[in-house]
Amino acid sequence: MSNSGNRLQSPGAHSLSEILSQPQCWSESLEDLKQKKTLQSVAKRFAGATDWVFIGCGSSYYVALCAAATMARLTNLRVRALPASEVLLYPDSVLAGTGSWVPVLISRSGQTSEVVATAEMLVARGIPSLAVTCAGGQPLEKLATEIILLPRADEKSTVMTRSFSSMLLSLQALGAVIANNSTFLDSLFLTSRAVVPLLPTLPAQIREFVSRRRIDDYVCLGQGPFYGLACEGALKVTEMSVSYAQSFHTLEFRHGPKSIVGPETLLIFLLSESGYQAEREALEEMKSLGATTLVVCNQADAAIRAASDLLIELQLETPEFSRLAPYLFAGQLLGLYSGLKKGLDPDSPRNLSRVVLLDGNRPGQA
């Protein structure tokens, strides 16, 4: 019955519903963690650790990049993000010099082959770990010492949308708890509520933008904590629309990659406040070279408006690092509507599954 019901769903219906459900999912997941004192328990268990290493595959690795940037800002600890494959294949190199450290293993399903294999390696070495997942009772939960479990955030669709943003917010909240920064923690709750008015009109804006343009290349650009979001935005476009998409640090795009710029190249700029002037100059340069531009920022000035073919202005009053998650909407919806334009079903992209499980001892990818 459930399989038949899924076939009757319109293409992309699950993805759209899950994208639009994110603010409610964030609020409920953060409230669950607060009521259960999960983050306080994790902080107590790993009190005194000087190094944190966030580990994942695919989207979960991009969660790691964003979460690592946030925790480093909040705590002044040594924080890194690594693909699980690097930890597995080059453990002595990537973990050299690590002192009292906490491996944070991120996997929506709790089954991702490389992440589970990393957890097994850590158990064999007697190293305690933290798991972040949306699925309980899976191998990762059984191998980890502590767990942040977010069952509300799991999806029916193949690609990660609300699971990505919810796992990111949970780790940002953990950073706030470790830093004893109640103001930042409160701002995560505020962002979850304040972003709701943006959603009623945003899907139609992006659908109309996609429908009237020919786009051959997609490039997502971001600096600092926004770089991981840029990577995720490019991945969403690739997964949901089977399109070629790349990601770069915004200013790095000038150093060679700008050779692809033209009217059929869409550049997605995730503009920060910290690097606003330099990133605005890069935007203006690429627009002068003929790029089509989609810009996401918190507040835009006249120059940004003039250089944007589509401008998404969040207008949130919370701190910059606490409003990373809303920057994801653009890439997620862009992937969705680009896929639908091509006659695809973004809920079930070709060649992909919700979990990558590989045979034998070969590391997997998710």
Cα separation, 245 vs 322, in Å, equals 26
Are 80 and 86 in contact by the 8 Å Cβ rule? The answer is no
Q: Which two tokens stand for residue 306?
A: 């003039």
Say yes or no: 63 and 112 in one domain: yes
Of 86, 124, 80, 130, residue with least CA distance to 110:
130
16, part of any domain: yes
- Residue 90, domain member (yes or no): yes
pLDDT per residue over 184-233, tens digit each? Answer: 999 999 999 999 999 999 999 999 999 999 999 999 999 999 999 999 99
Supply the pLDDT for residue 359: 60
Q: Which two tokens stand for residue 236?
A: 């969403």
CA dist 118 and 309 (Å) reads: 44
Q: Does residue 158 share a domain with residue 209?
A: no
Same domain, 27 and 77: yes
Q: Which residue from 342, 326, 365, 353 is spatially nearest to 237, judged by alpha carbons?
A: 342
Residue 206 shares a structural domain with residue 117: no
Identify which of 149, 193, 172 has the alpha carbon closest to the alpha carbon of residue 52: 172
What does the block give as tokens for 337?
């509507």
Are 91 and 161 part of one and the same domain? Answer: yes
What letter would DSSP give residue 310? Answer: E
Q: In the beta sheet, which residues pair with residue 248?
A: 221
Cα–Cα distance, 107 to 105 (Å, whole number): 7
- Sequence-distant (≥ 6) Cβ neighbours of residue 339 within 8 angstroms: 11, 12, 240, 241, 242, 345, 346, 349
Assigned domain for 234 exists: yes
d(CA 4, CA 81) in angstroms, rounded, equals 40
pLDDT in tens, 47-84: 999 999 999 999 999 999 999 999 999 998 999 999 99
Residue 353 has pLDDT above 80, yes or no: no
Residue bearing tokens 């940037």: 69
Answer whether residue 260 shows pLDDT above 50: yes
In which band, very low, low, confident or very high, does the pLDDT at 357 lie, cut at 50, 70 and 90? Answer: low
Write down which residue in 176, 194, 212 finishes a domain: 194
- 303 and 206 within one domain: yes
Instruction: Tell the residue number behind the tokens 């609020």, with chain if given.
Output: 27
**What is the domain range of residue 164?**
2-194
Reported residue count of the chain is 366
pLDDT tens, residue by residue, 133-170? 999 999 999 999 999 999 999 999 999 999 999 999 99
Of 88-97, 182-191, 244-253, 305-314, which range is least confident?
88-97
Same domain, residue pair 237 and 204:
yes
Is residue 356 in a domain? no
Q: Return the structure tokens found at 205.
A: 């804006």
184 and 216 assigned to the same domain = no
> What is this structure's pTM?
0.93
135's CB contacts (< 8 A; 6+ apart) are: 108, 109, 110, 111, 141, 151, 154
- For residue 146, the one-letter residue type is E
